Structure 1
């Protein structure tokens, strides 16, 4: 079983780095990316996902507002440059909170949380580069 991941972020560079990180994990698969929460609502109505990587500060609808609109959101990892939303995000049962720039070792710790929650063994491929979001 592959963990189907969706990236929701208005920064193209952040999306690229997360896609690269996801490729490093055998059990994870990026099935799409959305540049806004509004776009993600449409995507999720058409395709189920297991995990979303969600930026907070986006135009029109913030990541937190997006979570408020969902009845049964997939597992959610917040990916943001803002530390101040961390406590509030846990009101929405997020599985982790990654502060940009995200370092690969920290990403892998999040992977362990996700695979533990989903009760699947993780087979992380060691990365060759140390890119950051």
Structure 2
């Protein structure tokens, strides 16, 4: 069972990811947040195994988040910007999902996270 959070500055995006997480029996939704700083605290406290993380956020970008949290948890980047994929993989992200995220593509990312 992977404990998950969805982090995105767009509430609609976190709601969609939360709905997807709740459909998968091997995932547990710990929470959603529009604040990457709050998510970082959850990761540092060891409350999260897998983060679905947006890249473009005002307080802290997804890439800055990755630099700070290191490898404390697995991360799937979720973004509308394909140009950040290489940067994401340099931080060993599990997967890179382009918005709007389709459920079947979400499931493939989850399978990668569970395998790793």
TM over 0.5: yes
1:47 Cα deviation from its structure 2 partner? 4.5
Question: Are 1:71 and 2:100 matched, yes or no?
Answer: no
- In the TM superposition, residue 97 of structure 1 has moved relative to its aligned partner by 0.2
CA contact (8 A) 1:67 1:73 kept: no
**Paired residue for 1:21?**
20
Confirm whether residue 90 of structure 1 aligns to residue 96 of structure 2: no
Q: Which runs of 5+ in 2 are unaligned?
A: none
| Match runs of 1:1-133 below 5 Å | 2-117=1-116
- Which deviations, in whole Å up to 9, do the C-alpha atoms of 1:109-131 show, x marking residues without a partner? 112112222xxxxxxxxxxxxxx
CA positional deviation for 1:88: 0.8
Mapped to 2, the partners of 1:71 and 1:110 lie a distance apart of 19
- Structure 1 position 40, deviation (Å): 1.4
Deviation at 1:91, TM superposition (A): 0.7
**In structure 2, distance between residues paired with 1:65 and 1:48:** 20
Q: Which has more helix, going by share of residues?
A: 2
- In the alignment, the residues of structure 2 paired with residue 44 and residue 89 of structure 1 have an alpha-carbon distance, to the nearest angstrom, of 18
The root-mean-square deviation of aligned C-alpha atoms, in Å, is 1.2
When Rg is computed on C-alpha atoms for both structures, the one with the higher figure is: 1
When the two structures are aligned, how many residues end up with a matched partner? Answer: 116
Instruction: Specify whether residues 60 and 98 from structure 1 end up closer, same or farther in structure 2 by C-alpha distance, changes over 3 A only.
Output: same
How many Å separate the matches in 1 of 2:44 and 2:104? Answer: 32
SS in 2 for 1:31: strand
- Matched with 1:130 is none
Q: Which runs of 5+ in 1 are unaligned?
A: 118-133
